[in-house]
Amino acid sequence: MFAEFNKSLQGMLQLKQGSSFWELSSFVVSPQAQGQGIGRDMLRQSKQFVDLPLYLRVKRDNPAKRLYESEGFQTDCLSDGRYYMKYLK
């Protein structure tokens, strides 16, 4: 999934399907587009698409963790300085 504004790429989100889950494997919003709701919109669209649990990893110091929590993701565990989070429909 891509987000564009004025013919400029502002964000990208990639999902990978496993046998019993989905993984948000890549999620990037350009620095100039952060804080404008682009990431939240992309995340919400991906949650509507999946029909199985959705997992992601986020570094311990990444402020995006708050976004994930506000969108219903729960911390599963902490390992190697990363939070492993899941979203269940």
What is the token pair recorded at 32? Answer: 């100039």
Three-state secondary-structure class, residue 41: helix
Domain that holds residue 25: 2-87
pLDDT tens digit sequence for 30-64: 998 889 999 999 999 999 999 999 999 999 999 99
Tokens standing for residue 83: 């939070």
The sign of the dihedral angle between the CA atoms of 34, 38, 42, 48 is positive
Banded model confidence at residue 7, pLDDT cuts 50, 70, 90:
confident
Domain count, the chain: 1
CATH at 15 = 3.40.630.30
